[in-house]
Amino acid sequence: MPCPPGHAATTTRWIVVGAMIASGVAASLHVGKVPPALPALRDELDLGLVAAGWIASIFNLIGATLGIASGLAADRLGARRVLAAGLVCLTAGSIWGAAVESGTALLATRVLSGLGLVTVAVSVSAPRIIVAVAPPRDHGLALGAWSIYMPAGMAIAMLSAPFVLPGIGWRGLWLLHAGLTAIVLLIVLVATRGISARPNFPGRVSTEALRRPGPWLLAAAFACYTVQFFAVATWMPTFLIESHGRTHEAAALTGALVVGANVIGCLAGAWLLHRRAARWKLLAITFLVMAPCAAGAFSVVVPPMLKIALAAIFSAVGGLLPAAILAGTAAHAPSRDHVATVNGFVVQGSHVGVVAGPPVFAMLVASLGGWEQGWMLLVALGLAGLGVTAGIRAIERRDADFPESG
């Protein structure tokens, strides 16, 4: 049974939707700023490779463990309040990070910022507010458009950092992103005035929401996708350096462009959902295209420029999935008051994939002796994703009241 309309809005408040997208992009800037700054961080703070890896990945670990808890907080305390608290955590964590003198202290600041990311973008509060200000007919478009937050923010950070770092250093970069996040906080507070700070609904939210199979299948599909996406996004620059002699700068630029291509798919997915495209078809297309493109991108027989093109297609088509999945959280929630809980659970599943993807892919490549051997993992995940998609299709076709696109 889809999320009932209840007292849904009759017209979409696009200014609020835009503010929610801005909050997600601001949060994901704090993810994308780390990879370009890692060399400077390692030199100044004397970080080993493992410690540097934790600095980069702690955000995803927090998302993989606290998604449901943050969703419950947003549903019970009010999404606007939790969203504002998350932006404050991101701002404070970045200001604190700019002043640290050790890797341990920097890791602590990343934990604080990671909590902010979970409550802002990982992402439980913004979808709850979007559902509150958009009628059901616009949920697919609004939530699908919001799904650009992660690739857009990461690409902006990764593309701009090489130009900013030489002038202000990594500490200046941290302060710059803190300032941008503070500005977004003010925009969000103004844009969301008048939106109820605390929803009216009884307890037992998690059991009511997660008793349904839909959220579990959405989370599984998202995990299959993020393992593939972040395995490729993480290791493509290294692969180009080691196998094709690309410079670090050229490889980093390629990685940023590949991540940025994901925005195209997210926006296309939002538009297709608004045009009543079936969710399962978007998921099936994603899994059918991603695996062969990724396998070709790491193949030893494919020319370098074609590899980059395949990686860009992999990313762009892959963007259909976040739009379809995140729009599906509203459709599979028992009511609008459960959206943040379902979204937290679904995105927690996605971050399990984010955490697992790069190391699992690396272990497979190392154990089998070559980058091209990674295709087995990517194809296996594509097949698993198609199986999960069949389950989602069965649920949505079984219920005659279920909207075609959510």
Q: What is the pLDDT of residues 58-100, one digit of tens each?
A: 777 777 777 666 666 666 777 788 888 889 999 999 999 999 9
Q: What is the pLDDT of residue 207?
A: 67
Each residue's pLDDT tens digit, 266-293: 999 989 988 888 999 999 999 999 988 9
CATH number at 14-398: 1.20.1250.20
Measured distance CA(11)–CA(334) in Å, rounded: 22
DSSP conformational letter for 2: P
Is it the case that residue 219 has pLDDT exceeding 60?
Answer: yes
What percent of the chain clears pLDDT 90, i.e. is strictly above it?
30
Least confident piece of the model among 186-195, 255-264, 286-295, 365-374: 365-374
Q: What is the pLDDT of residue 202?
A: 45
Measured distance CA(394)–CA(406) in Å, rounded: 14
Q: Is the pTM of this model over 0.85?
A: no
Q: What is the pLDDT of residue 200?
A: 47
* Mean pLDDT over the full length of the chain: 82
- CA 19 to chain centroid, in Å, comes to 17
Between helix 14-32 and helix 34-45 the angle, nearest 10°, is 40
Q: What is the pLDDT of residue 82?
A: 84
Measured distance CA(385)–CA(406) in Å, rounded: 19
Which tokens in the block code for residue 363? 């272990």
Which tokens in the block code for residue 50? 């493992």
Q: φ, ψ for residue 302 (rounded to 5)? A: -90, 130
- Whose tokens are 């980058």? That residue is 371
CA distances to 108, 231, 307 from 173, rounded to whole Å, are 18, 26, 32
**Residue bearing the bigger pLDDT, 252 or 180:** 180
Measured distance CA(338)–CA(74) in Å, rounded: 9
Q: What is the pLDDT of residue 23?
A: 93
Where residue 405 falls among pLDDT bands split at 50, 70, 90?
very low
Report for 13-22, 333-342, 352-361, 397-406: range of highest mean pLDDT: 13-22
Measured distance CA(317)–CA(240) in Å, rounded: 22
Per-domain residue ranges of the chain: 14-398
Q: What is the pLDDT of residue 197?
A: 42
Measured distance CA(275)–CA(92) in Å, rounded: 41
Q: What is the pLDDT of residue 6?
A: 45
Closest-CA residue to 285 (of 385, 145, 151): 385
